[in-house]
Amino acid sequence: MSLYKIKTLDELKRHLNAAMQLEHATIPLYLTALYSIVPGTNREGFHIVRAVAVEEMLHLTLVCNLLNAVGGHPDLSAPGFTPNYPAYLPDGEEDFAAGLQRFSPDAIETFLKIERPASLKPHESNKRLRKRKGALLSAGHTDAAEEEHFFSIGEFYKAVEMGLDDLYAEMGDALFCGDPALQVGPEYYYSGGGGLLTVTDMTSAKKALDLIAEQGEGITGHIFDEDGEIAHYYRFQQLVLGRFYREGDLHNHPTGGEVEVDWNAVYPIKPNAKISDFPEGSEVRAAAESFNAIYAQYLALLTRAFNGEPNLLIDAVGDMFRLKELTYQLMRQPIGDGSEFNAAPTFEINLA
């Protein structure tokens, strides 16, 4: 498999910054679908999407620990960090753009593309270069600056791991020049998404990358990891195939219990809604603007937490609960423009 070769520490930091954007970019997608489910319905679907969203937050934290370990400085509040949806992902898949939409077969199809294993890569799809500006682009963006792209998130992280190996062979322990005090440990982290690791050396760096890969697309295409946890791709696939996977099942052939899905038990939110879609002076517009302000505050708190104030993660949890309530407030309300759609968060945060 031909992958982009990371040759310098600056290139490694650039890729880890893109990894931060990548992990964060999935979270609004999953949360939008999650909270579009009418409460009390689609319990199995709600649990599946929520579990993946929680693990993406874990992955974001692990990447920030990795970046800090090699002397970088995570910044989740920089212009352009949050994508203008629909957007291409920063690891460079060019066959789809990911958008904010309700829980639906189309949404799950997008999630499957996001989490797809490298083993699904077509043989003719070797590493190519594409014209891109920055790490995240809106769909249809045409400005040019060459960037490598990868078929899957797993391929992207494999390139990061190979770069880490090469740089460690060249630099030794000096590669991990970051201040250990900036690491976020499990004592500061509120999540049920798996064990958080601090990164201070090559062993812990490899463990962090392995955990991200295992929870995402799985280990070499396996459905379950060593702890019996199912990879994201196969979790989402259960919603399409209508059955749960069991240990020993073959790909695409789950034999567990039935997964019940009601695609109609969702709020009819506007896909990829923008503030400009909501009437001026309306309650939904004010709620959407309030959501964006609190989300920007949330990202600023995370940035401080990942730069030496880990106790602020507790405050960030409070912001998440406020955002959840605002999300439901928006999704229950018609936009008021005569359309069939309800409102939804727009995630228009510090757009470049």
Q: pLDDT of 246-282, one tens digit each?
A: 999 999 999 999 999 999 999 999 999 999 999 999 9
Q: What are phi and psi of 124, to 5 degrees?
A: -80, -5
Confidence of residue 129 (pLDDT cuts 50, 70, 90): very low
Cis peptide preceding 86, ω within 30 of 0: yes
Tell me, what's the pLDDT at 72?
Answer: 97
* Cα torsion angle, 103, 109, 110, 115, sign: positive
Task: Say whether pLDDT at 141 is over 60.
Answer: no
Least confident of 1-5, 26-30, 267-271: 1-5
- Any bridge partners for residue 25, and if so which? none
The answer to whether 233 and 112 are in contact (CB under 8 A) is yes
- Quote the tokens at residue 69: 């370990």
Task: Say whether pLDDT at 190 is over 80.
Answer: no
Task: Say whether pLDDT at 95 is over 70.
Answer: yes
Mean pLDDT of the chain: 87
Q: What are phi and psi of 235, to 5 degrees?
A: -60, -50
**What CA–CA distance (Å, rounded) separates 125 from 321?**
42
Q: How far is CA 158 from the centre of its chain?
A: 17
Task: Say whether pLDDT at 4 is over 90.
Answer: no
Tell me, what's the pLDDT at 126?
Answer: 40
Residue of 62, 64, 18 whose CA lies nearest to 206: 62
CA dihedral 183, 194, 120, 16 (to 10 degrees): -10
CB-based contacts of 175: which residues, under 8 Å, 6+ apart?
9, 70, 164, 167, 168, 202
Task: Could you list the beta-strand ranges (E) of the chain.
Answer: 87-88, 129-131, 137-138, 146-148
Task: Say whether pLDDT at 57 is over 60.
Answer: yes
**What CA–CA distance (Å, rounded) separates 205 from 184?**
14
The answer to whether 164 and 205 are in contact (CB under 8 A) is yes
Question: Which residue is listed with tokens 């709600």?
Answer: 46
* Percent of the chain with pLDDT strictly greater than 90: 69
Domain residues of the chain, as ranges? 9-267
CATH pick for 9-267 out of 1.20.1740.10, 3.20.20.60, 2.60.40.1510, 1.20.1260.10: 1.20.1260.10
Tell me, what's the pLDDT at 139?
Answer: 41
Task: Say whether pLDDT at 146 is over 60.
Answer: no
Task: Say whether pLDDT at 128 is over 50.
Answer: no
- Quote the tokens at residue 51: 């579990």
